[in-house]
Amino acid sequence: MSGEDAPAQQQNAVDQKQETKPAEEPKAEPPKTEPAPEGAAEAAATPAAATEKVPEEETFTYRALVLTGYGGYDKVKLQVKKGKPALKAGEVLVRVKACGLNFADLMARQGLYDRLPSPPVTPGMECSGVVEAVGEEVTDRKVGDKVMVLNRFGLWQEVAVVPANHTFLIPEGMSFEEAAALPVNYITAYMMLFDFGNLRPNQSVLVHSAAGGVGIAATQMCKTVKDVIVFGTASASKHETITQGGVTHAIDYRTKDYVEEVRKISPKGLDIILDPLGGSDTHKAYNLLKPMGKLITYGAANMLAGQKKNLLAVAKNWYHQFSIHTLSLIQGNKSVCGFHLGYLDGETELITQAMDTILDLYKQGKIKPRIDSTWHLEQVGDAMRKMQERNNIGKVILTTEPMPEEEKKEETKKEDKKEDKKKEDKKKDDKKKDDGKKEEKKDDKKKEEAKKEEKKEEEKKEEAKKEEK
């Protein structure tokens, strides 16, 4: 395993001039869980560290998740990188504590997200951690600062180099997990509701996947405005949680037609609809808008069916892709907006403004990220599965804490069981995808393909195990 897969933004440290020795730097608040400086802990595990004093740039190693190709959960592999990443002016090096999972990461794994460079590449749009080194011209961050980070990609690793203005100070009392859960979901919810949506008192909002990361953030944001009615879709088992979280009317989209349910309560329709689904759901949303209503579409989750790229789902989504004529907008007095934080990476000012407001709301106790579960880097596949299969309530988090040895062994034992479970899941998955009568034949084909896929996966898993050792 070498560092050859390192993303473009993180040059190998060989040609790096600058040195950052912790002894020279003020360490106001040394984070308790920080590993030994200079990456010694990891370095110890590699043969290089066994030799006598070698320049830090060479002994420095860190673990990184790397997307090795497009496909299933196993395409994201844990690798060890060598060499301390170089810091350019304006950049900081962050020792990562926790990372957030986002839908874009799942899309990216299937090759459906064009903001991630081609594999091999490290995914990850958000993380939290501690500043371990600062580049020239960085004035507002110092070593030891606890920060959350927002970046186009490259944050699912133990060490990340990012522009200082992509970091935000973690407020007092916020955990690293919360901090890793906050940036993408809350900026997304904030900008959709308060910039495009222009949310005001007494309005009504539809939040799809109300138990997901953006869904929970959006619900909390809605509740910061007086008398806003939140319609939230989620499977029935999550209704209690989302209702406690602020959803006024929880709708089980699996057993009920959410359009009908909304119309029963709000016959005239809705003021704002957040649409992460795409395809035919965007059409439904458009028709469900009141005059002066705003439809804000921010994804195409309908394209994600199964763990690998599902051409049928993608094609269906494209076929149903919403296209709107201005005349219809004029006659309906409607607004259609598109949002994706991943395409806003040049807009530092906008994002910083949003983040300032969000952190104020956090300090006032009005918002609080909800963590669904935390996984070790080794478990990224399971973490992604949990999110993709919509089994989460809140944010799915990766931690860079090393996995205890006994857990690792447990994990290996579980592998076989998991394989069995996977087969079951796959069957369920296929069933879910069955849109009705027409597609039965296609489904048979899919099952066959799925079986083939599983065989391939088993082979790959074997490979992966070898690699990790």
Q: Which residues touch 275 (CB under 8 Å, ≥6 apart)?
A: 208, 281, 282, 285, 295, 296, 297, 298, 299
Count CB-CB contacts under 10 A for residue 433. Answer: 16
Give the residue, chosen from 119, 232, 299, 306, that forms a contact with its own copies under the rule CB under 8 A. 299
C-alpha distances in Å from residue 405, one per residue of 15, 63, 378, 411: 36, 16, 12, 10
Query: Which residue in this structure is represented by tokens 């394989």?
Result: 419
**Phi first, then psi: what are they for 61, rounded to 5°?**
-135, 160
Report the distance separating Cα 382 and Cα 219, nearest Å: 26
The dihedral sign for the CA sequence 130, 132, 138, 140: positive
In the complex with its own copies, which residue's Cβ is closer, 135 or 215? Answer: 215
First-to-final CA distance of the chain: 10
From 41-49, 124-132, 342-350, 360-368, span contacting its own copies (CB under 8 A): 342-350
Q: Shortest Cβ distance from residue 279 to its own copies (Å)?
A: 9
Give the residue, chosen from 287, 343, 440, 448, that forms a contact with its own copies under the rule CB under 8 A. 343
Q: Which of residues 349-368 bind its own copies (CB under 8 A)?
A: 350
Nearest to 143, CA basis, from 167, 125, 124: 167
Give the residue, chosen from 1, 40, 169, 337, that forms a contact with its own copies under the rule CB under 8 A. 337
DSSP-assigned beta bridge partners for residue 274? 207, 296
In the complex with its own copies, which residue's Cβ is closer, 224 or 241? Answer: 224
Report the distance separating Cα 295 and Cα 309, nearest Å: 27
Decide if residue 113 touches its own copies (CB under 8 A). no
DSSP-assigned beta bridge partners for residue 374? 397
Residues, the chain: 469
Q: Shortest Cβ distance from residue 320 to its own copies (Å)?
A: 10
Give the residue, chosen from 103, 176, 339, 362, that forms a contact with its own copies under the rule CB under 8 A. 339
Decide if residue 49 touches its own copies (CB under 8 A). no
C-beta separation of 306 from 429 below 8 A: yes
In the complex with its own copies, which residue's Cβ is closer, 56 or 105? Answer: 105
CA dihedral 356, 362, 367, 369 (to 10 degrees): 90
In the complex with its own copies, which residue's Cβ is closer, 51 or 326? Answer: 326
In the complex with its own copies, which residue's Cβ is closer, 202 or 237? Answer: 202
**Phi first, then psi: what are they for 50, rounded to 5°?**
-70, -25
In the complex with its own copies, which residue's Cβ is closer, 343 or 363? Answer: 343
Q: Which residues touch 264 (CB under 8 Å, ≥6 apart)?
A: none
Query: Contacts with its own copies: how many residues (CB under 8 A)?
Result: 38
Give the residue, chosen from 11, 248, 335, 391, that forms a contact with its own copies under the rule CB under 8 A. 335
Q: Which of residues 179-208 bind its own copies (CB under 8 A)?
A: 191, 195-196, 198
In the complex with its own copies, which residue's Cβ is closer, 89 or 292? Answer: 292
Give the residue, chosen from 31, 111, 332, 402, that forms a contact with its own copies under the rule CB under 8 A. 332
In the complex with its own copies, which residue's Cβ is closer, 294 or 385? Answer: 294
Q: Shortest Cβ distance from residue 57 to its own copies (Å)?
A: 38
Report the distance separating Cα 300 and Cα 112, nearest Å: 10
In the complex with its own copies, which residue's Cβ is closer, 347 or 467? Answer: 347
Q: Which of residues 300-329 bind its own copies (CB under 8 A)?
A: 300, 321-329
Q: Shortest Cβ distance from residue 192 to its own copies (Å)?
A: 10
C-beta separation of 6 from 85 below 8 A: yes
Q: Shortest Cβ distance from residue 332 to its own copies (Å)?
A: 7
Q: Shortest Cβ distance from residue 26 to its own copies (Å)?
A: 36
Report the distance separating Cα 101 and Cα 103, nearest Å: 7
In the complex with its own copies, which residue's Cβ is closer, 216 or 272? Answer: 272
Decide if residue 346 touches its own copies (CB under 8 A). yes
Q: Which of residues 269-298 bind its own copies (CB under 8 A)?
A: 278, 282, 291-292, 294, 297-298
The most distant pair of C-alpha atoms in the chain lies apart, rounded to whole Å, by 76
Decide if residue 229 touches its own copies (CB under 8 A). no
C-beta separation of 275 from 296 below 8 A: yes
Q: Which residues touch 265 (CB under 8 Å, ≥6 apart)?
A: 231, 249
DSSP three-state, residue 28: coil
Report the distance separating Cα 209 and Cα 233, nearest Å: 5
Q: Shortest Cβ distance from residue 430 to its own copies (Å)?
A: 27
Q: Shortest Cβ distance from residue 30 to its own copies (Å)?
A: 39
Decide if residue 225 touches its own copies (CB under 8 A). no
Binding site residues, its own copies, CB under 8 A:
191, 195-196, 198, 278, 282, 291-292, 294, 297-300, 321-340, 343-344, 346-347, 350
